[in-house]
Structure 1
Amino acid sequence: MILTGPAIAAAVAAGEIAIDPFEPARLSPNAYDWRLGSTLRICDGDLDAATPTVFNETTIPDDGFVLVPGVLYLGVTHERTGSERYAQFLNGDCTIGALGIWVHVSAPLGHAGHAIRWTLEIRVARPVRVYPGMTFGKLVFLQTFGGSCSYQSTGRKYRHSDGIDISRLYEEIQGEGERP
């Protein structure tokens, strides 16, 4: 079950959902319109799942930053979101899709109990200028069923994330992290 905009607002007021900063005007019928943060990591060279990703980090200036095809950008949400009660689903929307921007296609699920600023995978079809704080997608909240299981209590490798995170698959490959 997906929460409606009014249900999200009520859950924020009740302390069941955290959205920081929260702006009621960003609520839509079934989602919250999240924004692009001001930092990008630009992944360099060939990527290897067995080693940490090499990147350069940059701040998106107020007059924008041009994303180019063929480059993997890791961004971050402006908002920090989470809930012990609800799972989250984050995705881009038609406003950025119409610009040829693909965002967060591979990992849209935010587990209950994980309050984060989301790491965003960003790719573009054509050069496009983006700006810090621009609307970049929709966040929906989903009612969970079954026994409670907070992400923070699972020992998962991203449980302490709160910003841009590179892939940590290398930890599993090197035998340092959890195994599926």
Structure 2
Amino acid sequence: MILTRSEITHAVESGHIAIQPFDPGRLSPNAYDWRLGETIQVCDTDLDAAHSSGFVEQIIPPTGMVLLPGNLYLGVTYERTQSERYAQLINGDRTVGTLGIWVHVSAPLGHVGHAIRWTLEIRVVRPVRIYPKMTFGKIIFIKAKGEMASYQNMGRKYTNSSGIENSRLYEEIT
């Protein structure tokens, strides 16, 4: 079951969902409009799943930054979200999609207990200028059914992410 705007508001007020910073004006009928953070990592070389990736981190200036096709970009959400009661799903939205920006296609699920600023996979089909703190997508909250198991207590790789997290698949391969 997806939470509505009023249910998201109630869950934030009661402490069952944390969105930091929270702005009620960013609520839509069934989601919260999240923003792009202020840093981005750029990879324009080959990647190898068995090795740590070579990304260069950059601050996105207030005047914006042009993203180019052929590069992989890792961004981060401006907001940090967490809930011990609800799972979360994050996606880009129509506003960035119609600019030819594909964002966060591969890992949209935030488990119950996830407490993170989301790492975003970003690709573009044409050169496009982006800006820090621009609306970049939507997050929905889903009521979990059954026995709860918090991601926080499972000792997973990406628990409590506060910035951009590169792939750590190499930890399983090597």
* Corresponding position of 1:131: 131
The amino acid of 1:146's aligned partner reads: G
* Corresponding position of 1:50: 50
Separation in 2 of the partners of 1:125 and 1:44?
15
The amino acid of 2:91's aligned partner reads: N
* Corresponding position of 2:15: 15
1:28 and 2:28 correspond: yes
Contact 1:92–1:102 under 8 Å retained in 2: yes
Contact 2:115–2:160 under 8 Å retained in 1: no
* Corresponding position of 1:150: 150
Separation in 2 of the partners of 1:91 and 1:80?
15
* Corresponding position of 1:96: 96
Gaps of 5+ in 1: 175-180
User: How much has 1:155 moved relative to structure 2?
Assistant: 1.6
User: How much has 1:160 moved relative to structure 2?
Assistant: 3.5
Separation in 1 of the partners of 2:26 and 2:103?
19
Q: Deviations over 1:125-176 (max 9, x none)?
A: 00000000100000000000110100011121111322100000000001xx
* Corresponding position of 1:178: none
What aligned pairs does 1:76-87 form with structure 2 within 5 A after superposition? 76-87=76-87
Contact 2:118–2:163 under 8 Å retained in 1: yes
Separation in 2 of the partners of 1:113 and 1:63?
36
The number of residue pairs the alignment matches comes to 174
Contact 1:3–1:140 under 8 Å retained in 2: yes
TM-score, normalised to structure 2, is: 0.99
The amino acid of 2:132's aligned partner reads: P
Could you list the runs of 4 or more consecutive aligned residues of structure 1 that deviate by over 3 angstroms after TM superposition?
none
Q: Secondary structure at the match of 2:37?
A: coil
Separation in 2 of the partners of 1:72 and 1:148?
35
Contact 2:35–2:136 under 8 Å retained in 1: yes
User: How much has 1:44 moved relative to structure 2?
Assistant: 3.9
* Corresponding position of 2:75: 75
Contact 1:73–1:122 under 8 Å retained in 2: yes
